Amino acid sequence: MEGVSFEVVRSFNLSVFLVPFLPLLASVITLIFGKRYLREKPYILPVSALLLSFLISLKLLVDVLSGKIYEFDLYQWMVVGSLKVGLGFLVDPLSVMMLCMVTSLSFLIHVYSIGYMKGDPGYYRFFSYISLFTFFMLILVLSNNLIQLYLGWEGVGLCSYLLIGFWYEKKSASDAAKKAFIINRIGDFGFALGIFAVFYYLGTLYYHEIFPRLPQIAQTYINIGSYEVHLPFLISFLLFCGAMGKSAQVPLHTWLPDAMEGPTPVSALIHAATMVTAGVFMVSRLHPLFELSPHAMAMVALVGLITCFMAATIAPTQFDIKRVVAYSTLSQLGYMFMACGVGAFAVGMFHLFTHAYFKALLFLGAGSIIHALHHASDPNDIRIMGGLKRFMPITFWTFLIASLSIAGIPGFAGFFSKDEILVYAYFSQYPWGKLVWFVGLLVAGMTAFYTFRIFFKAFFGEFKGVEALHGHYPHESPKVMTIPLIIISFGAIFSGWLGIPEALGGGAHFQRFLEQVLGHPKLLPVDHAVEYLLMVLSIVAGLMGIGIAYLVYVKKPALEVFFSYKFKVIYNFLYRKWYFDELYHRVFVVPTLWLARTVVNLVLDSFVIDHTVNGSAKTTAFSASLFRKLHSGIVNYYNWFILLGVVIYLIYIFIR
């Protein structure tokens, strides 16, 4: 911990323990007894557990604000030399912030799901999985060592897999689940190697022991082949592989849009607000390691930048409302990594915080629309929407708030955090700061454009889904869904007010609070005049995006068709998502399948199985028949063997 002194509580604390374990308990009970006893109301336990967890998190927040930090080991599973594996908790400003965010959103999304999932045959299963997810996410956030972080990391991955494939009878859903799982394996392979490397070179896995030992490796280079590799860069790279998988950054991003096959509350909680931000959290948690290597920082910034830009270009071409929002999530995650890449970790976390609320709100709003249109064959298609403003006023207003927030309109949460990222990037000491700022600004405009594209297409104009709905008209969602929407929309406005920058007369309390853990970014001298100019620019970019969207989708709908025909090549390139899926299919999937089907079958069948396996089977059969002869039940053999044993031992002793 830098600078500020905290009182560190090292004894067991029940409330810290309860925060993750209440959801676990609720999940297990619901899973076991849900089918038989809780068929009608399986949500009671998870929802109340989450509410309690949230209240306890608030209490912990107050404790941390008053200068306390909890750090203790719950128990140790195994101790081998310096390798300690166990459960431990660390509650400091960073984790308590995540704690409050995760529990509050998870609670509200649980409530929302009561309405959204009603009538589904897997009602109880859904609640069990989603609170199990919350447990793993809290374990991830609260951990005080890398192994437990990894446990939580894999746990949320598992729950994500289960929930993407929740409607497993749909082939696309189970395919998407598998895709998410396999792509995450690639990232996690690197992540595990990174953890091994940390242990190998630093001899510990506990954060509080890792950080003081980092100077030991600051100047270490190791040889890989004929290259000299800077050790901190290598470790950061390996760990960042995990972050790329979990936070869906290029080139491991393709699973996230497909993950939208899962129920919408899952998309809101897991694939927007919490799990996908785990990568950002991990990078921030280990920021001293990343900061040792400028190359690692450049890598983080660059990957974030590419993802951010790429996703922003794909989003406007998609017609599935959830996929558009998913691409915007990719893009916003890129923003957070950009912030980390210029050393502004606290600001990155600030954006993570505000993003969680407005993105969850966008998703839940989309879910509300989908719920209203669920009679249609494809309720996600924005082409059958339109004019929903009349039918669903609450969804309309909350969706508007979320859209304004993500577009960076002053006064809304997204504005403050996005603007902070741009300012810190511009004034960053890192040479790529200006590039990050420029792309960030560009993407800000694009974000506003595609967000309002779906907004206008869904809520304005005439309702186009009469046929698809077989004459039904959509209606507002039940209260149990709209009330969480309303509550989260407060978050989408006011969560940004916690960190109003100094230039606007605020105190940037949020960033100061986190900088106690995450350190101050290295900045060039800040010129306030320039800062105002940057702000105005980003506001202008946002407004222009909205303006163009209004022009294209409300005023002159013909323009949309015109553009997509005029620039057909580019349009197709973007519509096919930069051909990433096709590329991976050609490069990885097809050769792997070929290898599996032809080579392995051929070689293994003819050589390995026929000779080795059947050979060993023959050997076993032979020895078994030998043994059977010996185990024929004739006691004389038994006694012979006993005497033989004794004699062999005697000989052994005498010739020794």
Partner 1 sequence: MVTLSLNFGSLALELFFLLSGIFIFMIDRFIKSKSYAFWLSFWVILGSMVFILFIPFGDFTRAFRIDFFSSSIKFLLLIGFFFVLLLSDTHLNNFPGLNFGEFYGLLFFSLFGIFVVLSSQDFLTLFIGLELMSIPLYFLIATQYVYRKESLEGALKYFIAGALSGGLYILFLGIVYYATGTIYFEEVSKRLAQGLLKKELLLGAVFFISALSIKLSLVPFHMWAPDAYEASPLPITAFLSGLIKFAVMAVLIKVLILAYSPLKIEIGKILIPISLLTILIGSLLAIRQDNLVRLLAYSSIAHVGYAVLGLVSGDFAGYGFSLFYMFVYLFTTIGSFGIMIYLVRANRGFLEIPNLAGICQNLPFISLLLLIFLFSLAGVPPTAGFMAKFYIFLMLVKSQYIGVAILALLVSVIGAYPYIRVIKVIYMDKGHLGYYKPTYPIFLAFSLIVATFIVILLGIYPRPMLDFIQRTLFLYISLQFLQL
Is 630 a binder of partner 1 (CB under 8 A)?
yes
Is 37 a binder of partner 1 (CB under 8 A)?
no
Q: Is 381 helix (H, G, I), strand (E, B) or coil?
A: strand
Closest CA to 436 of 519, 343, 508, 354: 343
CA–CA gap between residue 310 and residue 447 (Å, rounded): 12
Is 32 a binder of partner 1 (CB under 8 A)?
no
Is 650 a binder of partner 1 (CB under 8 A)?
yes
Stretch that binds partner 1, among 181-189, 474-482, 567-575, 633-641 (CB under 8 A): 633-641
Residue type at 269 in one-letter notation: L
Token pair 């320039």: residue:
530
Is 627 a binder of partner 1 (CB under 8 A)?
yes
CB of 649 to partner 1, least distance (A): 5
Which one of 14, 78, 224, 655 is in contact with partner 1 (CB under 8 A)? 78
Q: What are phi and psi of 572, to 5 degrees?
A: -65, -40
Is 526 a binder of partner 1 (CB under 8 A)?
no
Is 200 a binder of partner 1 (CB under 8 A)?
no
Written as one string, the DSSP assignment of 193-225 is HHHHHHHHHHS--BHHHHHHHHHHHTT-EEEET
Token pair 């200068």: residue:
67
Neighbouring-strand partners of residue 222:
229
Is 215 a binder of partner 1 (CB under 8 A)?
no
If one counts every other C-beta atom within 10 angstroms of the C-beta of residue 134, the result is 33
CA–CA gap between residue 22 and residue 484 (Å, rounded): 21
Which one of 14, 80, 529, 558 is in contact with partner 1 (CB under 8 A)? 80
CA–CA gap between residue 298 and residue 312 (Å, rounded): 21
Q: Measured from the CB atom, is 532 or 627 closer to partner 1?
A: 627
Token pair for 324: 């558009």
Q: Measured from the CB atom, is 473 or 641 closer to partner 1?
A: 641
CB of 127 to partner 1, least distance (A): 21
CB of 148 to partner 1, least distance (A): 14
Which one of 14, 561, 569, 635 is in contact with partner 1 (CB under 8 A)? 635
Classify residue 579 as left (phi > 0), alpha (psi -120 to 50) or beta.
Answer: left
CB of 629 to partner 1, least distance (A): 12
Neighbouring-strand partners of residue 79:
84
Is 36 a binder of partner 1 (CB under 8 A)?
no
Q: Measured from the CB atom, is 78 or 561 closer to partner 1?
A: 78
Neighbouring-strand partners of residue 223:
228
Closest CA to 535 of 502, 489, 495, 497: 502
Contact track, partner 1, 601-620, x by CB under 8 A: -------------------x
Is 565 a binder of partner 1 (CB under 8 A)?
no
Token pair for 512: 């100061």
Which one of 5, 14, 75, 225 is in contact with partner 1 (CB under 8 A)? 75
The count of residues interacting with partner 1 (CB under 8 A) is 25
CB of 439 to partner 1, least distance (A): 46
Question: Cis peptide before 251, with omega less than 30 degrees from 0?
Answer: yes
Which one of 76, 172, 429, 614 is in contact with partner 1 (CB under 8 A)? 76
Is 646 a binder of partner 1 (CB under 8 A)?
yes
- With b meaning 16 or more CB within 10 Å and e meaning fewer, what string describes 217-255? beeeeeeeeeeeebbbbbbbbbbbbbbbbbbbbbebbbb
Q: For the segment 140-159, give every residue that binds partner 1 (CB under 8 A).
A: none
Which one of 11, 227, 652, 655 is in contact with partner 1 (CB under 8 A)? 652
Q: Measured from the CB atom, is 171 or 656 closer to partner 1?
A: 656
Token pair 């793993």: residue:
136
Q: Between 171-202 and 207-217, two packed helices, what is the crossing angle to 10 degrees?
A: 60
Is 649 a binder of partner 1 (CB under 8 A)?
yes
Is 637 a binder of partner 1 (CB under 8 A)?
yes
Stretch that binds partner 1, among 111-119, 292-300, 597-605, 628-636 (CB under 8 A): 628-636
Stretch that binds partner 1, among 264-272, 343-351, 446-454, 636-644 (CB under 8 A): 636-644
CA–CA gap between residue 308 and residue 306 (Å, rounded): 5
Q: Which residues bind partner 1 (CB under 8 A)?
A: 75-78, 80, 620, 623-624, 627, 630-631, 633, 635, 637-639, 641-642, 644-646, 649-650, 652-653
